[in-house]
Chain A
């Protein structure tokens, strides 16, 4: 079991560029969550999916952010255009429906300059 796999681990981009973060959940898990972590705001839930369907995206900060889950083994979080205030660590997590516990990935550290 390789756990939740996120890519890239680090991303540095210029303001205005499009950024795509990727996540592969654990096989058999049917819920997927995107979180963002900053020093100022802590861990924030952005969006989560159940059986590939977005359930709650109320945490997505603005229209520049979008997330998709085209199948059970892949999800993306896209920021277009990126801004310096988007700099953060973005975590993906997955769980089984009964929520025994979330398993988090190692995160993507995004820096927008």
Chain B
């Protein structure tokens, strides 16, 4: 069962901010929002995760709405190397039962 909804594809101009939306309207109180990306022919790469507060690291920012039903991943200055499939996943945090189920993601194409 799909827990998240993402647009299948997006374009972004190089140097501009890329804003990738994700809808997770059925998220439970103990579920975190995770973002991963997969560059062609490579394994997925962890980007960021959060519960309800906005998060920022060296790669991206994660903005979660107050009702937690949607979120946005922001790449502040997209480069050509950011072209990848971006996956938004919701999952309980920690413990031996934690597992990540990947959906179809958003193909972000950064244009020169």
Q: A residues near B, CB below 8 A?
A: 4, 31, 33, 35, 42-43, 45, 48, 50-51, 55-56, 91, 93, 97-107
The residues of B that contact A33 with a CB separation of less than 8 Å are 99-100
Annotate B18-58 by CB proximity to A: 1 below 8 A, 0 otherwise. Answer: 00000000000000001010100011111001000000000
B95 at the interface (CB under 8 A from A): yes
Whether B99 lies near A106 (C-beta < 8 A) is no
Whether A93 lies near B43 (C-beta < 8 A) is yes
- 8 Å CB contacts to A: which residues of B59-91? 87
- Closest residue to A4 on the B side, CB-wise? B43
New A-B contacts (5) at CB < 8 Å, excluding given A97-B94, A102-B46, A106-B42 = A31-B96, A45-B101, A51-B96, A56-B99, A97-B95
- Closest residue to B47 on the A side, CB-wise? A101
**A/B interface sample: 16 pairs, CB < 8 A:** A4-B43, A35-B102, A42-B102, A43-B102, A45-B100, A55-B96, A56-B97, A91-B44, A93-B43, A97-B96, A98-B93, A99-B93, A99-B94, A101-B49, A102-B100, A104-B44
Total contacts A-B at CB 8 Å: 53
The residues of A that contact B100 with a CB separation of less than 8 Å are 33, 45, 102
Q: How far is the CA of A4 from the CA of B44 in the complex (A)?
A: 12
Whether A42 lies near B46 (C-beta < 8 A) is no
Q: How far is the CA of A42 from the CA of B87 in the complex (A)?
A: 11
Q: How far is the CA of A94 from the CA of B49 in the complex (A)?
A: 17
Q: How far is the CA of A99 from the CA of B94 in the complex (A)?
A: 5
The residues of A that contact B46 with a CB separation of less than 8 Å are 100-103
Q: How far is the CA of A91 from the CA of B41 in the complex (A)?
A: 11
Whether A45 lies near B99 (C-beta < 8 A) is yes
Q: How far in angstroms is the closest Cβ of chain B from A107?
A: 6
Q: How far in angstroms is the closest Cβ of chain B from A29?
A: 13
Whether A107 lies near B98 (C-beta < 8 A) is no
Q: How far is the CA of A106 from the CA of B59 in the complex (A)?
A: 20
Whether A48 lies near B43 (C-beta < 8 A) is no
Q: How far is the CA of A45 from the CA of B44 in the complex (A)?
A: 13
